[in-house]
Structure 1
């Protein structure tokens, strides 16, 4: 395999999830065999931060981010924001998140979601770390929140908004995270976006164990799937796979490369 592909980065992967407890080492090995050498692992609740830190401390290819996911709103407490600051002072994080807004799931009180999201925006700016943002049926409000906060950078993962909204995001310094949903033939808007957008704002992700490829629908997703997502991007854009892989690697290094060194293994020669 071309050495470039040893540097594919899964920019969003929940390898700390219990779905991987039985075979995590094998999952990581399969990813690396596919050329996906690095995973960014965003936390979803404060209770998970210590175990995530321990997992990533044992493997230089696993990069932690710490945050409070809107889907776990019932478990978050205001004091967790100060605890997040304390966690980030440990110096191992490459980002803040997964954080954001979710107006798809019923019962998640919007104003409480905003409290935790805005708190994490402040923390990301304070620590000069990128945000890893969840935005489901909330892309427009997320854009307004990021613009109002100012001075931020990051990625909106599993992007589901319009091309026009994506352009607003990358003009603010945010990348667009794309994964398994791109492999579905009915994902017309997402495919148009990937075809038309500037490559320098694109990141690839698995969101494993969720969002599997179309041919693996209903199965557990793995970070190795990022290699297949790359194939779809190359086909849609009619551009060389190697060229896209190099750009994605550089995008990931640009966003996540400020805190943990060395972040990405060098190509095998």
Structure 2
């Protein structure tokens, strides 16, 4: 069984002291591919270098809304340069999007996000989308920009109807630890109904700990527990789910299997 963690921050400090053993522990649980999205200029070089040393690690270059500041506008040309000279393991623009839950000016968030959508179009790359309480506005911008290269709506925790709107624009839905919580009724029901062909799995490590692991750092090796939860919600075997989401994950980022 092959698993693909489509969103994990392996470059964060918590993984660095014993990186190879950390990676090995994920391999031992069947996780054999990873996408590491960047959050801003502070880690573009780091995710690039990490992927250069590991053929099973892919990365995305972008600017996360949480980490934006007034000077972020000035960093956009540098992001475009990074994308123009990207390696083949750079498979998306992101993590980018909008977040209504952080104290970052929404006008700034929108300007930076729109530019990243345009970069993705010019590079013909998918997007890794971050959205909290902003699904409607992100959908408006994607339609306004006539974006056609799809990607993944990361860390989904919305309704079936919201997810289907992104799927209609060519996006896959990133399913993470939130579905392991019984109280996440709306999202669990949505996952049960959504077409399996539109789902990918993620941990968002070291964030978004699974139910029963609150207060601990998350890890790609936990991806199998998310798979088990999806299988339960879908009433299907884990093997069947794993095979389909493996294909979906590679398709989302145009990676050869």
Scaled by the length of structure 2, what TM-score is found? 0.95
What's the Cα RMSD here?
A: 1.2
Distance 1:136 1:100 in 2: 9
Distance 2:115 2:84 in 1: 16
Task: Return 5+ residue gaps in structure 1 as ranges.
Answer: 265-269
After TM superposition, the structure 1 = structure 2 runs for residues 1-269 of structure 1, keeping only pairs within 5 Å, are 5=1, 7-74=2-69, 76-92=71-87, 93-105=90-102, 107-150=103-146, 151-258=148-255, 264=257
Distance 2:98 2:5 in 1: 22
3-state DSSP class of the match of 1:185?
coil
3-state DSSP class of the match of 1:216?
coil
Q: Check the 8 A contact 1:68/1:76 in 2, yes or no.
A: no
Q: CA deviation at 1:77?
A: 2.2
Q: Which runs of 4+ in 1 moved over 6 A?
A: none
Q: CA deviation at 1:76?
A: 5.0
3-state DSSP class of the match of 2:69?
helix
Tell me the matched-pair count.
Answer: 254
Q: CA deviation at 1:72?
A: 0.3
Q: Check the 8 A contact 1:41/1:63 in 2, yes or no.
A: yes
3-state DSSP class of the match of 1:214?
coil
Greater alpha carbon shift after TM alignment, 26-35 vs 144-153: 144-153
3-state DSSP class of the match of 1:94?
strand
Q: CA deviation at 1:79?
A: 3.0
| Higher normalized contact order (CA 8 Å, seq sep 6+, divided by chain length) | 1
Distance 2:55 2:44 in 1: 17
Distance 2:108 2:250 in 1: 33
Task: Return 5+ residue gaps in structure 2 as ranges.
Answer: none
Distance 1:145 1:223 in 2: 31
Scaled by the length of structure 1, what TM-score is found? 0.91
Distance 2:161 2:134 in 1: 14
Distance 1:85 1:245 in 2: 35
Distance 1:22 1:63 in 2: 21
Greater alpha carbon shift after TM alignment, 73-82 vs 156-165: 73-82
